[in-house]
Amino acid sequence: MEINTCSGAISLTKELENESAKVYQELAQKFEKDKDLFLAFAKENGKFYSQVERAYYGVITDAMEGCFAFHLNPEDYQFKKTLSNDISLSNAVAEALKMEETMLRFCQIAAEQSKHLMADVPRAFSLVAKKRNERLAKLKALLEQAK
């Protein structure tokens, strides 16, 4: 079902960030050498969610279009949540890259959709998108090393 409400969008953000963090935790367990990077990403996901949530709770008002701000289909933002036991580092990082691209798209679309309707919420999504872009560069570098 399409998500239209801010509350629904914030809950979807939480769900996606948590699921993505679990993927990184799994990667950290599988690949000892790059454990610190993956755990840092997992931890950062929590910060990303907090940033968006804080913005929402800070500016939510009954006078704005909080129930009509978004048109998000959760199906569009699904990613692989479990990795096979024998996956190689390069394949695992490739999956992480796909996941990050999905999350980046989610953040950009959420920022765009809320732009005229929810003060500060789009900025929080945009800041997270910016950080995700930096993360993509790190993952791409790791993929090159792993090849």
Applying CB under 8 A, which residues contact other proteins?
Answer: 1, 3-8, 11, 57-69, 116-117
Strand partners, 3: 72
- If the CB atoms of residues 96 and 109 are measured against other proteins, the closer one turns out to be 109
User: Which bin fits 120, alpha (ψ -120 to 50), beta or left (φ > 0)?
Assistant: left
Closest approach of Cβ 132 to other proteins, in Å?
24
Cβ neighbours of residue 140 closer than 8 Å, sequence gap 6 or more: 97
Name which of 9 and 104 has its Cβ closer to other proteins.
9
Q: How far is the CB of 102 from other proteins (least distance, A)?
A: 19
Least CB distance to other proteins at residue 124 (A): 16
The residues that bridge with 72 in the sheet, in sequence order, are 3
